[in-house]
Structure 1
Amino acid sequence: MDPYGYLADEGSVDLKEGIDLQDLRDPNKGADFEIDISSVKPVDKSDTSNKYFPGEEVYHNLLKVDPEVGDTCDREGLETFEVLERRMEDVTENKDGGVLKMVLEAGTGSVAPQGALVRVHYNAYKELDDEPFDSTRLRHEIEKFRLGIDGTVAGLHVAVATMKKGERSRFIFKPNYYYGELGCPPRIPPNCAVLFDIELVSFVEREGVDDYYQMTEGERKGVTFAFVCKVSKAEREEGNQLFNTNMIQRALAKYKRAAKILDDYHLKTDEEEAEQKKLLVKVYSNIALCCLRLKQNGTCITWCHKVIELDPSNVKAYFRKGQALHSMSEFENARTMYRKAQRLNEFSQEIIEALSKLEQDIKKFRIQSEDYRRMCQRMVSLSASDDSRTAPDNRESQRESSDPEEECSARFRETVIEKLEEFKSDAEMTEMPFPEQSLSVPEIACIVEVAGIMGLNIQRHGAGNASRMVVVKSKQQLQF
């Protein structure tokens, strides 16, 4: 897929001679090739139209110009880079003017350190263009890289290294800090300076993390507790970023790493043990929440137990354990956990609402259970009244030897249709079991037939006398 037409714009060039792909793949050989210059299409510098993003989205990302500098703008209200540079600061280390900066919105805290995992949004513009030629916002994908390490344009590393969390600033990158003399045709002409509006969304300090993973088990035993805490914190904070962008499975992996780093450390003092417990409570709670979001309710309960073992007064652990039990329809145990959480935080609106929802679900479950009991009684009685066989002790053997072509009674069929229609329209019910041991082969065939007509599925659980037939809704029906 190429929704914005990037690949179509890139074009192709001819080689003067063909190359052997086997040589190209062989790391010990490689292949030399020469481009046929005559096949290279010249860059049309006059074409500044935006062909990369949908027009409606581009409108919301047009370059915003300071209204107080109208006298220095061109007829379209845009400033030349030469004019804009007069109000900007050189932020390069050797002051060569390659990266210039203007703060638009101040950030908070300290600047992003080298090696940090940074997350940024940006819009990139060519001179006197108000439409971006590149934009993380229009791509709906935040840019992530290791500051000073990962391979991206030099200007971006220099710029972000001057920024604080939440800061939004405007930068001009000269060609030697962007794509240089060659450019990146067709979007970036040769020797092209560009303007970047950058927002530093967040960063996580990763200093020492790679070193830790490269250590042997013996070397890890020699590191300080402070170092272990720093590495674990980096993993947990990266997990937080992933969680906040709804990447729950990847966040869970980061939290588990953070927990293992702390668990593997050999404690040396009581102070270290106390600090380790405090940190483990946080990361175990994060893991439990991820499991809850992923509907891994049993695993969530396990991690909640771990939290409670370390911190018996942890409200979140009791509450999340209650939520997991609630999802598993273990209503009484869920109520117990919610009540424990409420005793620790009696004014929590979230806990009050959860208890209210639990009572509603218990009431609804009792009604459904009673309806189901009556339905089973009715179906069994209908089956018995229509069955010419009068020896109850022989019913099972007779059921197995029944003629599959024999039809069930009209009353039985009407009852099946009525109950399955009620089940299909009830958004709260996801499955309906049937008393298979009390039904004849034609009656079971009737249920299967009616369920199929209604788009419902049949599942069997267990074997022998313990087997049961369950009617379940399709995935499409569960979505509505």
Structure 2
Amino acid sequence: MEREPDIPAWAPLLYQLQLLNIREKPDALTLPIADRIRIGNQKRERGNFHFQREEFSLAARAYCMALDVLTTRSRDGDNDAAVAEEEEEVQDYRVKCLNNLATAQLKLEQYDEALHTSRDVLFLEPNNVKALFRTGKLLSDKGEYKEAMETLKKALKLEPATKAIHVELSKLVKRQSGGNDTQKWKAKPSEVFGENIAPFLIPSKKKPSGISWKFLLGALVVALGSLVTSVILTARN
């Protein structure tokens, strides 16, 4: 952007920094609850930033750092109603952070870790539908069908209108019955080629109705031939 009169536009700048002080990382339990929430949310938002950029390893690391700060253990003597309400707020943010961490772990194909994290969510919030669905799906993929069925049924009871839960339960029933998933599945043309399948379709042959166009063309040729012959004979006479 330049700065007159001494720095032209696009000039390379060299900065020299000096380290003045180092502070040790504070113990989360010594921080006021409001500071825990503020710092924890900053780190969680940093994780969301990395997740949106598909930097899942960095996102998972940021979520873990947030969880280190968002501790729900109160200091001795902090048992009044105000502190209890703040601790509940910390737990709510911790649940959100754990759900985000599990999603990042799934992106990294860390399925056992994602299952463990999802169970941590359910320990804090047993009726968390996202964690129930994720746990049930992971258990089903691991072949632990009985526990998966109980978990997904609980999620369905809480949100009976959620289509994804119905789909996963249907898959689980097929897996439990055994062999159904191994049946050959014949795809329809639209499922193979997509919506635009016109070049791949062959028009069906229809039976001719009425007088054939070939018959009409032959008759026309004969009529023209007769007309030409008549004209020639007339000219000779």
Q: CA deviation at 1:214?
A: 3.4
Residue of structure 1 in register with 2:139 after alignment = 325
Assess if the C-alpha contact under 8 Å between 2:29 and 2:71 holds in 1.
Answer: no
Q: Deviations over 1:427-470 (max 9, x none)?
A: xxxxxxxxxxxxxxxxxxxxxxxxxxxxxxxxxxxxxxxxxxxx
Identify the residue that residue 356 of structure 1 maps to in structure 2: 170
SS of the counterpart of 1:277? Answer: helix
State the match for 1:240 in structure 2.
Answer: 48
Counterpart in the other structure of 1:366: 179
Deviation at 1:325, TM superposition (A): 1.2
Of Structure 1 and Structure 2, which has the larger fraction of its residues in strand?
1
- 1:307-345 alpha-carbon deviations (Å, 9 max, x no partner): 112111111111010121122232333222211110110
| C-alpha displacement of 1:301 | 2.0
Q: In structure 2, what is the equivalent of residue 229 of structure 1?
A: 37
Q: State the distance in 2 between where 1:217 and 1:180 align.
A: 42
Separation in 2, partners of 1:293, 1:334? 21
C-alpha separation in 1, matches of 2:171 and 2:42: 37
Matched residue type, 1:243: F
Q: Which residue of 1 aligns with 2:62?
A: 254
Mark the runs of 5 or more structure 1 residues left unpaired by the alignment.
1-172, 186-212, 372-480
After superposition, the C-alpha distances for 1:390-438 in whole angstroms (9 at most, x for unaligned) are: xxxxxxxxxxxxxxxxxxxxxxxxxxxxxxxxxxxxxxxxxxxxxxxxx
Distance 2:56 2:96 in 1: 16
Change in Cα spacing, 1:367 to 1:352, as seen in structure 2 (3 Å) is: closer
Q: Which has the larger radius of gyration?
A: 2
What is the number of equivalent residue pairs in this alignment?
Answer: 168
Distance 1:341 1:183 in 2: 57
The residue that corresponds to 1:272 in the other structure is 86
Residue 214 (structure 1) aligned to one of 23, 31, 35: 23
**Kept after mapping to 1: 8 A contact 2:115/2:135:** yes
How far apart are the structure 1 equivalents of 2:56 and 2:153?
28
Contact in 2 for aligned 1:297/1:327 (Cα 8 Å): no
- Residue 308 of structure 1: aligned partner: 122
Match of 2:154 among 340, 344, 357: 340
Structure 2 Cα separation of the partners of residues 317 and 360 of structure 1: 23
CA deviations over 1:329-385 (Å, ceiling 9, x no partner): 32333222211110110000121222223334445x53589x9xxxxxxxxxxxxxx
Cα distance change, pair 180–314 in 1 and its aligned pair in 2 (3 A):
same
Mapped contact 1:292–1:320 kept (Cα < 8 A): no
CA distance in 2, matches of 1:242, 1:223: 26
Counterpart AA for 1:283 = C
> What is the CA–CA distance in structure 1 between the aligned matches of 2:92 and 2:133, rounded to whole Å?
19
- CA contact under 8 A between 2:136 and 2:147: conserved in structure 1? yes
Matches for 1:451-470 after TM superposition, within 5 Å: none
Letter in 2 for 1:299: E
TM-score in terms of structure 2 length: 0.60
The separation in 1 between residues aligned to 2:10 and 2:90, in whole angstroms, is: 52
CA pair 368-353 structure 1, distance change in 2 beyond 3 A: closer
* Aligned residue identity for 1:341: A
Conservation of the 8 A alpha-carbon contact between 2:40 and 2:66: yes
Structure with higher helix content: 2
Question: Distance between the aligned counterparts of 2:171 and 2:47, measured in 1?
Answer: 30
Local SS of the residue matching 1:176? coil
Give a deviation string over 1:157-186, Cα, whole Å, max 9, x none. Answer: xxxxxxxxxxxxxxxx4x218x9337459x
> Shift of the alpha carbon at 1:221?
4.8
Secondary structure of 1:347's match? coil
- Aligned-pair Cα RMSD in Å: 3.1
Partner of 1:53: none
2:223 paired residue number: none
| Residue 3 of structure 2 is aligned to residue 176 of structure 1 | yes
Aligned residue identity for 2:138: A
Give, as a single letter, the amino acid of the residue that structure 1 aligns with 2:62.
K
1:356 and 1:221, CA in 2 relative to 1: closer, same or farther beyond 3 A? Answer: closer
Q: Percent identity?
A: 26
